[in-house]
């Protein structure tokens, strides 16, 4: 039985050039065809303008002013309790951000990217400490791609190789970079083609898998009609960018598009768990 977590939510934000932006979100997570359990974990969590999490907002419209947190964590296959690592990662990011937001008297942090980075670092410490407390200190870890949308911007924090994409005006752009041995070699000016493909794809870090990590933070401006995709490698390693673009451009509903991406991955063998979050940026109603 596939694991699915559908839902559409909406959140309105600050103005961009006199236009208030909003976001609608759809989410799907699936075990895939070759795995026995789903080690992915994901989160869609709106905050109100005071930094209070909005419970039960999934499926609602017009959540109101605030921020929106989207997270995809992919527990490391072949390691000890990857599903525990991914769940702990997501839960701790949510907890850490909630605590941070509620410490600001006016509810507006000065640096959202730094807030998000600290939340991921806190989650890493929690997962690593838990792993160390287990018998034989067995390794457990998870990737993490977290996006915090506020007003007309999105901050991203990444560890591992889950990805964030932006689809705008027919073009699909990757907003994150896979933290793999291959990319590390390329950044040093070395030819990664001389390395075995399986080694090239190995992660150089993961949440909870080693004592220290370096959370990579980036950001992007948002515009109406933007479509954001946060996903694990179970999608992009088996679904081509051309197929992703075709699905993004299709005129079916947002939830249907998220499901179609997962279906494409399963049609191509579904070798891994598949998790997809889509966020569609629009113009908020003046009354919201």
CATH code of 232's domain:
3.60.40.10
Helix (H) or strand (E) holding 112: helix 112-133
Comparing C-alpha atoms, which of 183, 255, 207 is closest to residue 74? 207
Residue 181 has pLDDT above 90, yes or no: no
Question: What domain range includes position 53?
Answer: 8-176+211-283
Give pLDDT, residue 48: 76
Establish if 275 belongs to a structural domain. yes
Decide if 90 is inside a domain. Answer: yes
- Identify whether 183 is part of a domain: no
Q: How many CB atoms lie within 10 A of CB 225?
A: 11
pLDDT of residue 288: 41
Confidence of residue 80 (pLDDT cuts 50, 70, 90): low
Tokens linked to 173: 């752009």
- The count of structural domains within the chain is 1
DSSP-assigned letter for residue 163: E
> What span, in angstroms and rounded, lies between the C-alpha atoms of 78 and 51?
37
Residue 228 near residue 282 (C-beta atoms within 8 A): no
d(CA 48, CA 29): 26
Looking at residue 284, the DSSP 8-state letter turns out to be P
In a domain, 56, yes or no: yes
81 within domain boundaries: yes
Taking residues 128-141, report their average pLDDT: 82
User: Residue 40 and residue 3: Cα distance in Å, rounded?
Assistant: 10
Label residue 45 by pLDDT band (50, 70, 90). very high
Q: Determine the pLDDT at residue 131.
A: 87
Residues 127 and 2: their CA atoms lie apart, in Å, by 26
**Residues composing the chain:** 288
Residue 152 neighbours by CB under 8 Å, 6+ apart: 13, 14, 15, 16, 21, 221, 222, 223
In this structure, what are the phi and psi dihedrals at residue 145, rounded to the nearest 5 degrees? -125, 115
Q: What is the structure's pLDDT at 61?
A: 31
Question: Does 2 reside within a domain?
Answer: no
pLDDT at 11: 56
What region does 170 belong to: left with phi over 0, alpha with psi -120 to 50, or beta? left
**Domain assignment present for 143:** yes
Q: Is the pLDDT of residue 63 over 50?
A: no
Residue 251 within a domain? yes
- What pLDDT sits at residue 194? 75
Better pLDDT: 70 or 12:
70
Per DSSP, the three-state class of 249 is helix
Evaluate the CA torsion angle 238, 215, 89, 173 in order and state its sign: negative
Q: What is the pLDDT of residue 58?
A: 44
The pLDDT value given to residue 127: 95
3 pLDDT higher than 70: no
| Extended beta strands in 222-271, E state | 227-231
């Amino acid at each position: 039985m596939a694991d699915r977590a559908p839902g559409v939510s909406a959140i309105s934000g600050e103005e961009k050039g006199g236009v208030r932006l909003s976001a609608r979100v759809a989410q799907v997570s699936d075990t895939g065809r070759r795995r026995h359990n789903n080690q992915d974990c994901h989160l869609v969590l709106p905050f109100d303008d005071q930094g209070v999490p909005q419970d039960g907002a999934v499926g609602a419209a017009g959540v109101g002013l605030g921020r929106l947190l989207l997270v995809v964590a992919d527990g490391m296959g072949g390691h000890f309790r990857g599903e525990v690592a991914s769940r702990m990662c997501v839960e701790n990011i949510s907890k850490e951000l909630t605590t941070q937001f509620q410490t600001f008297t006016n509810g507006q942090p000065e640096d959202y990217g730094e807030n998000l980075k600290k939340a991921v670092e806190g989650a890493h410490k929690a997962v690593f400490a838990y792993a160390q407390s287990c018998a034989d200190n067995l390794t457990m870890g998870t990737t993490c791609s977290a996006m915090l949308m506020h007003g007309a911007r999105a901050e991203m924090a990444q560890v591992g190789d889950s990805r964030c994409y932006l689809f705008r005006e027919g073009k699909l752009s990757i907003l994150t970079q896979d933290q793999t041995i291959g990319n590390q070699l390329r950044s040093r000016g070395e030819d990664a083609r001389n390395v075995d493909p399986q080694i090239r794809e190995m992660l150089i870090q993961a949440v909870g898998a080693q004592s220290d990590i370096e959370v990579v933070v980036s950001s992007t401006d948002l515009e109406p009609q933007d479509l954001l995709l946060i996903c694990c490698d179970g999608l992009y390693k088996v679904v081509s960018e051309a197929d992703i673009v075709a699905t993004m451009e299709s005129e079916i509903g947002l939830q249907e598009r998220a499901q179609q991406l997962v279906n494409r991955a399963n049609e191509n063998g579904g070798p891994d768990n598949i998790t997809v979050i889509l966020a569609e940026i629009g113009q908020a109603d003046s009354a919201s």
